Amino acid sequence: MDYPKVVLFDAYGTLFDVYSVGLLAEQLFPGQGQALSILWRDKQIEYTRLVTTSDNGAHYQPFWELTRAGLRYACKRLGLELGAEREQQLMNQYRHLSAFPENREVLQALRTRGVTTGILSNGDPQMLGVAVRSAGLDGLLDHVISVDGVRKYKTHPDAYRLGTQAVKRPANQILFVSCNAWDALAATWFGYRTLWVNRYRLPFEELGTEPTRTGSSLDDVFAFFD
């Protein structure tokens, strides 16, 4: 099979560490930082699915607002007193999530090879812009694509279709990279070639479909070019 012409990356969980907010959460709520970061993320993703599938997307809200709603729910669930000041601190931290260390080198190497690169993310445009600049990745991405344009979150096919439309390539010429197993699975169903970056050594989804490849870091993207 020919080398991929384009590599699109998921953002949250793949380029940016969504659990890095746990460090600040631990300072604010000693002993609860990890639990809060995990529940916050789970609720955030649950809300994306809820607003996408309910009443044909009539209840859509931008990812930033769903992130705030997920934080509020997680704190209530854990019995933590959030308050306006702590909420602002944690939300600001989410704007500037830690980037995984190999990001810049991988993106630079792909550009050197002449490969088109981009992000295809649930994040709304403002969130993505801040995250990309904060991580020093601006200038290394040809496309930053937000599902906000169709008001449907991944795993809806319309969200993945934004990638093919933006780069003007069929799905089988595009490699989609995600650390989220559900995302890699749905992208495979859509027709992308996929790399699941299994950073946390988890089992893949048990729905009868495997990603094209599985790796442990973004460096494994180069297996598609060997």
**Is residue 10 flagged as an active site residue?**
yes
Cα distances (angstroms) measured from residue 86 to each of 7, 127, 162: 37, 19, 35
Number of alpha carbons in the 13 Å side-chain half-sphere of residue 99: 22
Length of the chain: 226
191 backbone dihedrals φ, ψ, rounded to 5° = 125, -5
d(CA 122, CA 183): 11
Q: What is the pairing mode between strands 143-146 and 174-178? A: unpaired
Q: Which of 10, 17, 148, 183 is catalytic?
A: 10
Catalytic residues: 10
